Structure 1
Amino acid sequence: MDFGFAREDQDFRDEARAWLAENVKGETEQRVWERTLGAAGWIGLGWGRDGYGNRTATLTQQVVWAEEYARSAAPPRSGHIGENLLAPTLLAHGTDEQKSRFLPPIAAGAELWCQGYSEPGAGSDLAGVRTAAVRQPEGPTYRVTGQKIWTSLAHEADWCFVLARTEPGSARHHGLSFLLVPMDQPGRIEVRPIRQMTGTSDFNEVFFDGAHAEHVVGGEGNGWRVAMSLLGFERGVSTLAQQIGFAEELGAVVRAAVASGAAHDPVVRERLVRQWAELRTMRWNALRTLGSSVDPGAPSVAKLLWAGWHQRLGELAVLVRGAAAGVGPADWSASAPYELDAAQHLFLFSRADTLYGGSDQIQRTIIAERLLGLPREPKGAV
C-alpha cells in the first residue's frame, strides 16, 4: 500500500483546521451551514477539474478534510447524499446537461438530496422494488407512483433520486431506471417521519402519487447498473471521517469505565482494548481500499466490520455504567420522555447498524459470491 501524507497535505490540513476553528460556532441551521461550506469551496473536493465543484483536492487531501471535519465537532452534514453519492454518479453516468443543472447547486450547498431506494418489500433485496414510473406521451416526463421507506432527510430535501420500474411486467434487476424527482410537488408527494425508539425521527416514509420526473440518469432501463455504481461510492473517504467519530465515542466509553470503576474488571478491560485494536484495523483497511485497486466486494467487508464493531461499542457503553445506564437524566420530564444521554442513544441507535445499508446476511452473500466465487444461493432458499 502506498498511502502517505506529503508536505502539501499538511499545509492543506492547517488551512482546513484554521477555517473550521473560525467557522464552527455551536448550533447552526443546516441549510445555512451547507451554504457556508459551499461559499468557502469545501464541497465537491473529489469531483476533479471539470468545473462543477469548488476547490480540487487530491485523495489524501480529501482524507485530511474528512478527518479534520470530524475532529472539529462541526454540524452533521445534510448535503452529503448529494455531494458523496449523487454527484459521483452523475459524473460517471449523467449527461452534460444533467451535470450542468445539478452539480453547481450541490457544490454551493443550495440544493439538498435524499435517496429513494428501499421499499417496504425491498430493503436489502433492492432488486424487488415495485415503485413504477410511466413515461407520458407528451414528452420525456415520467409519472412516479409507489412508496419508499427509511429515506434519510426526505423532510428537508429538494430532490430525490429514485430507483423505479419503467418497464411494465419486468422483474428483479431488469426494467429499472434511475430518476431524479423534485420533492416540491404538493398533492403528489407525501413525507411521513418515522419515530424511532431513540425518540428522534431521522428517517421517513415517502409516498409518490403520480409525481413528475423529467430526468433519467444512464438511460431508461439501466437503473440497476447506475444504482450499483452509486453504492460503490459509499466506500469513499467518508468512512475515515466516520472512524474519527467512532474513536471519540470509544474515548467516552473508556472514560465512563474509569469513572464507574468498571475498568478494574479484566473482562471489561479486554473488551475495551479489543475495540481499540479493531478500530485501528478498520482504519488501515479503509486506507488500503482507497490507495489500491480492490475487489467489488470490499464495501461489504467494510460494512461488516464497522456495523458489528459499533453495535458492540453501544453494548459496552451501557455495560460500563451499570444500573445508571437505565436511568433517565435529572431533568427528565413528562414533556420529553425520550431525553436520552449520549450512551443511551448510542446503544439504541446502533442496534440498527447491522440492518440498514444492507443487512449482515446480504453482505456475507455478496462476499461469498463476488469475492470468493462460491456458488450462488439457490432461489427460494431460506
Structure 2
Amino acid sequence: MDFTMGPSAQALRGELRGLVAEHVPPGFLGAFTDDPADLEVAQSFCRLLAARGLLCLAWPERYGGRGASVWEQTVVREEMWAHHEPRGAQYMGVNWVGPTIMRHGTPEQRRRHLPPIARGEAIWCQGFSEPDAGSDLAAVRTAARRDGDGDGWRVSGQKIWTSYAAMAQWCFLLARTSTGDKKQHGLTVFLVPMADPAVEVRPIPSMMGPHHLNEVFFSDLRVTDADVLGNVDEGWAVVQEVLAFERVGIARYARCERLLRAAPSVLGDRWAGLPAELRGRWARMLTHCRRARLLAYQVVSTQSRGTVRPGDAAAYRIAVTRLDQDSAEVLMEIVASAAPDGAEARRFRLQVEDHWRYSRASTVASGSVEMQQILLSRALLAS
C-alpha cells in the first residue's frame, strides 16, 4: 500500500503545507474561537484556495473545480484537518453539500448554490438532529406542511447541536412532509436561507467554543418547491448518501498522526524519561492511525467508482472516532508528564488540549458509535 499516493500527491501536499505555513498563523487552532480574527483567517484562506483551484479540487470543471481525482481531494482533506482545518466550515459545502446538490439538485439549484461554495464564500449548516431524534434521525418531527397556494410550504420545528448555525447563510434541512408505514418515508430535504426572520439560532455554550453547538428554531418558515432537493417524501435516500460522504469527509486520523509524530521532537531529551508504558501506548496509537487511514482509503476507493458502501463508512467511523479519543488521552498524558518548555512546546500543548476537547464529541457527531455498530452489523449480515 503506497500511503504517499505517488509523486503528484506528494507535490500537492507540499504545496498545501507551504500555503498553510505562509498564510495561517502558527498558533491557529481553528476558525471557531472567541477571537473573530480566526474566522477571518479561515475565510481568507478559503478564498486563496479557491483562487488556486484547490478548494473544490475534485469537483467537475463546470462547477468550479479542476476535475481531479477523489484521491487528490483526500490529500486536501488530510492536510487541512491535520492543521486544524484552516478552511473553517467550508469543508461541509465542499465534501458533501455541493456534491449532493450536483447529484440531486435542479439546474437552478446548481446555478444558485455551487458557485458560492466553489469560491469559498457560502457557509452551510446541517439541520438534522432534534432533541428527540439525534441518532434516530428518521424520527424527526420538524414538519413542512403545504400552505395552500400551490408550491408553498410552511416549516415549523426545532433542530439541535447545529454547528455553524450562527454564521451560516444556508441550511441543509431535513423535515417531515408526510407520514407512512415506516418513519423513513415522508422525509424531504429543503435548502433554506438562515437569514429569514422565521429562523432563530440560540447558541449552546460548551468547552468546544462558540459556533459548534446551537439550537435552531423554525417558526412557520415559508419555502417553496424550488427549495426542495430531490423529490418530496424521498429525502431519506438523499440523507443516507450524505451521511456516508460526511462520515469519511473529516480525516481525523491525519491530525492524530501529526500530533503523535510531533511529540518526541517537541519533548526532546524529556522523551526518554517518559514511562515505557506510556511510550508503548504512543506507538500503539500510531498503528491505529494507520488502521484508520486504511479504512478511510477503502471508502475512498469505492467512492472513486461512484458509490459509498454504508458498512465501510461505518467501520471507518468507529475506528477513527475511537482513535480520536484514545490518542487524545495519550497525548494529554505525555504533555502532563513531560511539561515541555518554550514557544513551540506551548503551542503543542494548546494543540493537544484542543484535540482533546474535539475528541469528546467525536463518538456522537455524525451518528453515535452505537449507531455505526448497528450499520456495520447490518452490512455484515447482508453480505
> Would you say same fold, with TM above 0.5?
yes
Q: Which residue matches 1:281?
A: 291
CA drift at 1:95: 1.5
2-side partners of 1:135 and 1:94: how far apart? 21
> Pick from 174, 179, 195: which aligns with 1:184?
195
The farther-off stretch of 31-40 and 213-222 is: 31-40
Alpha carbons 2:129, 2:161 under 8 Å: kept: yes
1:81 maps to which of 92, 97, 105:
92
User: Could you say if the C-alpha distance between residues 258 and 172 of structure 1 is closer, same or farther in structure 2, counting changes exceeding 3 Å?
Assistant: farther
Partner of 1:303: 317
Partner of 1:379: none
What CA distance in whole angstroms lies between the structure 2 residues aligned with 1:45 and 1:271? 37
Shift, 1:59, TM fit: 2.6
Preserved CA contact (<8 Å) 1:257 1:263: no
- Report the TM-score when normalising by structure 1: 0.82
> Which one-letter code corresponds to 1:86 in the other structure?
V
Larger displacement relative to structure 2 (78-87 or 291-300) = 291-300
The CA distance in 2 between the partners of 1:16 and 1:257, in whole Å, is 26
Q: Distance in 1 between matches of 2:103 and 2:96?
A: 11
Residue among 314, 323, 328 paired with 2:328: 314
Greater CA drift, 38-47 or 19-28: 19-28
Give structure 2 stretches of 5+ with no counterpart. 27-37, 340-348
Change in Cα spacing, 1:124 to 1:94, as seen in structure 2 (3 Å) is same
Q: Which residue of 2 aligns with 1:206?
A: 216
TM score, norm. by length of structure 2: 0.82
Give the drift of 1:211. 1.4
Give the counterpart letter for 1:366 in structure 2: L
1:352 to 361, 376, 380: 361
**Contact (CA 8 Å) 2:189, 2:235: kept in 1 or not?**
yes
- Change beyond 3 A, Cα 1:122–1:260: farther
> Which stretches in structure 1 are left out of the alignment for 5+ residues?
326-339, 375-382
Q: Which moved more, 1:114-123 or 1:251-260?
A: 251-260
Q: Given the alignment of the two structures, is residue 272 of structure 1 paired with residue 282 of structure 2, yes or no?
A: yes
Aligned-pair CA distance for 1:145? 0.5
SS of equivalent residue, structure 2 residue 221: strand
What does 1:35-114 align with in structure 2 at a 5 Å threshold? 35-49=47-61, 51-70=62-81, 75-114=86-125
1:315–1:20 distance in 2 versus 1, CA, 3 Å: closer
Which AA in structure 2 matches 1:180?
Answer: L
Cα pair 2:138 2:183 within 8 Å, conserved: yes
Aligned partner of residue 155 in structure 1, secondary structure: coil
Residue aligning to 1:370: 379
Which one of 133, 145, 157 corresponds to residue 144 of structure 2?
133
Cα 1:348/1:75, change in 2 over 3 Å: closer
Determine which structure has the larger helix proportion and give its number: 2
Q: Which moved more, 1:77-86 or 1:194-203?
A: 194-203
Contact 2:310/2:375 (<8 A) preserved: no
| Aligned counterparts, 1:112-261, within 5 A | 112-167=123-178, 172-186=183-197, 188-198=198-208, 200-214=210-224, 215-236=227-248, 238-240=249-251, 242-254=252-264
In structure 2, how many angstroms separate the alpha carbons of the residues matched to 1:301 and 1:312? 17
Higher alpha-carbon deviation: 298-307 or 29-38: 29-38
Q: CA deviation at 1:154?
A: 0.5
| Structure 2 CA distance for aligned equivalents of residues 372 and 93 of structure 1 | 30
Shift of 1:189: 0.9
Please tell me the residue identity of whatever aligns with 2:312: A
**Could you give the per-residue CA deviations for residues 20-46 of structure 1, whole angstroms, max 9, x where no partner exists?**
555445656043333333233222222
- What do the CA deviations read for 1:291-318 (whole angstroms, capped 9, x no partner)? 2467421111111101111111222233
Residue 357 of structure 1 deviates from its aligned partner by 1.5
Mean Cα deviation higher: 198-207 or 217-226: 198-207
- Report the CA distance shift for 1:124/1:257 in structure 2 as closer, same or farther (over 3 A): farther
User: Do the aligned residues in 2 keep the contact of 1:297 with 1:371 (CA within 8 Å)?
Assistant: yes
Summarize the Cα distance change of 1:315–1:69 in structure 2 as closer, same or farther, 3 Å threshold: closer
Q: Distance in 1 between matches of 2:135 and 2:7?
A: 43
Counting matched residue pairs gives: 356
- Tell me by how many angstroms 1:144 deviates: 1.0
